[in-house]
């Protein structure tokens, strides 16, 4: 049986001038199975109403606060009320909003980093389990087809035993004290109360950590970290470099930075096994480089039959033929597709398709917070190498 209607989406955050809320709204509707019907879009209730008008929503479904939204939406019949809510607020609000919507019986898609710390993350994990609801975490970079191809090549043992992983996420936009100019994305990201105990490692280092564990299927076990705050007066680190140990004995390097002048979103990963290596760049996401011993570097390109033959997950995450580039919006939409199929299965009391379960979940959020906790502990410690707890 199929659900004979679109899924109804609500949003918390994503008010006028916000960054990622609009990306979620566009990505969620890309494939036509989801419609936006309600929201509490801004910390300022007037701006929430303004956003609702801009989105041409029914004013009765545009709320002053998320608590008001839960109270009103839960009273509506299924099929009319929101099926799920997307949380696109700064980090400090993720936990209370996710907790309250899950407890009220709604499915949740949440932005990263999932919570402010490990304690909240583990509590949320328990709440997701007892609620029986679907929880998606927007680590969008694992949703690119060529990342899924790399993951499947490694799963199929084509690279052999993994020896070394290098992952980087350099940006340069915080090389000056931008937060002092009133730039609001910079302001909350450099405020520990809203961002959490870490700056660039929480904001973008967690994407790098998630990408490395997703592609390799390995877990980081120990970290030797060095965090630095370069911009005077800033309360959180704006640069970090880590050495990594993985659970199969592989070694790694992870660096994230927001003071690397002129770098934009330079997320990239290199994985080297005993037989082959791979290389992928977020800013050129339609190509995957495959490296062979004593052979030329191969360039695998998205949208070709030879990719689909090797990776059904990559094929599922592809909309356009080769040569027509896909990017950031499509990757968000891929997570939404898989999440939405899983929500539909839950509404129909069915088991989701195995490929649909390929989206980041609460466990990834717990790993992200454990990573941040370990990096912070290692930076403070004199012994440096620090075990990442489970």
192 touches 236 (CB < 8 A): yes
Q: Which residues contact residue 167 at a Cβ distance below 8 angstroms, ignoring those fewer than 6 apart?
A: 208, 209, 211, 212, 252, 253, 254, 267, 268, 269, 270
Q: What phi and psi, each to the nearest 5 degrees, are found at residue 195? A: -100, -30
CB neighbour burial string for 120-154, b if at least 16 within 10 angstroms, e if fewer: bbbebbebbeebebbbbbbbbbbbbbbbbbbbbbb
Shortest CB 87 distance to ligand NAD, Å: 8
**12 forms part of the interface with ligand NAD (CB under 6 A):** yes
Q: Which one among 25, 34, 52, 66 touches ligand NAD, defined by CB under 6 A? A: 66
295, two tokens:
């052979």
Which of residues 211 and 259 has its CB atom nearest to ligand NAD in the complex? 211
329 touches 30 (CB < 8 A): yes
Q: Which one among 26, 35, 43, 380 touches ligand NAD, defined by CB under 6 A? A: 43
Q: Which one among 73, 83, 100, 111 touches ligand NAD, defined by CB under 6 A? A: 111
Q: Which stretch binds ligand NAD (CB under 6 A): 17-25, 152-160, 253-261, 334-342?
A: 17-25
**311 forms part of the interface with ligand NAD (CB under 6 A):** no
Among positions 116-155, residues that touch ligand NAD (CB under 6 A) are 138, 140
Torsion, Cα 313 318 323 327, to 10 degrees, reads -100
Rounded Cα–Cα distance for residues 170 and 136 (Å): 25
**88 forms part of the interface with ligand NAD (CB under 6 A):** yes
Q: Which one among 91, 260, 282, 311 touches ligand NAD, defined by CB under 6 A? A: 91
Rounded Cα–Cα distance for residues 59 and 367 (Å): 39
Q: Residue 203 in 3-state DSSP?
A: helix
Q: Which stretch binds ligand NAD (CB under 6 A): 2-10, 39-47, 149-157, 268-276?
A: 39-47
Q: Residue 129 in 3-state DSSP?
A: helix
Among positions 18-37, residues that touch ligand NAD (CB under 6 A) are 18-21
**93 forms part of the interface with ligand NAD (CB under 6 A):** yes
Q: How many residues bind ligand NAD (CB under 6 A)?
A: 26
Q: Which one among 37, 42, 272, 315 touches ligand NAD, defined by CB under 6 A? A: 42
Positions touching ligand NAD (CB under 6 A) are 12-15, 18-21, 40-43, 66, 88-91, 93, 111-112, 138, 140, 184-185, 188, 203
């Amino acid at each position: 049986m199929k659900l004979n209607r679109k899924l109804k989406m609500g949003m918390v955050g994503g008010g006028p001038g916000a960054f990622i809320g609009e990306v979620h709204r566009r990505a969620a509707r890309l494939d036509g199975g989801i419609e936006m019907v309600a929201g509490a879009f801004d910390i300022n209730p007037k701006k929430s109403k303004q956003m609702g008008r801009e989105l041409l929503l029914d004013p009765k479904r545009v709320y002053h606060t998320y608590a008001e939204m839960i109270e009103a939406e839960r009273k509506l019949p299924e099929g009319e009320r929101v099926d799920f809510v997307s949380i696109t607020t700064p980090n400090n609000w993720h936990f209370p909003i996710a907790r309250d919507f899950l407890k009220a019986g709604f499915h949740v898609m949440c932005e990263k980093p999932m919570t402010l710390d490990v304690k909240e993350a583990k509590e949320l994990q328990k709440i997701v389990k007892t609620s029986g609801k679907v929880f998606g975490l927007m680590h969008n970079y694992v949703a690119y087809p060529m990342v899924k191809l790399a993951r499947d090549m490694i799963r199929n043992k084509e690279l052999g035993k993994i020896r070394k992983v290098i992952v980087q996420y350099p940006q340069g936009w915080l090389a000056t004290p931008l937060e002092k100019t009133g730039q609001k994305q910079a302001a909350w990201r450099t405020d520990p109360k809203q961002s959490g105990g870490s700056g660039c490692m929480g904001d973008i280092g967690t994407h790098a950590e998630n990408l490395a564990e997703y592609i390799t299927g390995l877990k980081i076990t120990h970290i030797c970290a060095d965090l630095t705050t370069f911009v005077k007066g800033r309360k959180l680190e704006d640069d970090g470099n880590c050495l990594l140990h993985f659970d199969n004995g592989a070694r790694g390097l992870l660096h994230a930075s927001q003071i690397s002048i002129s770098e934009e979103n330079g997320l990239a990963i290199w994985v080297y096994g005993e037989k082959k290596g791979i290389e992928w760049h977020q800013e050129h996401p339609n190509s995957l480089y495959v490296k062979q011993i004593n052979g030329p570097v191969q360039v695998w390109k998205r949208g070709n039959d030879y990719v689909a033959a090797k990776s059904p997950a990559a094929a599922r995450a592809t909309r356009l033929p080769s040569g027509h580039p896909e990017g950031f919006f499509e990757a968000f939409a891929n997570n939404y597709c898989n999440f939405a199929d899983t929500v539909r299965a839950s509404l129909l009391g069915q088991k989701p398709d195995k490929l649909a379960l390929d989206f980041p979940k609460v466990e990834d959020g717990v790993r992200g917070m454990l990573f941040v906790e370990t990096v912070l502990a290692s930076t403070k410690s004199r012994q440096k190498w620090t075990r990442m707890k489970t």
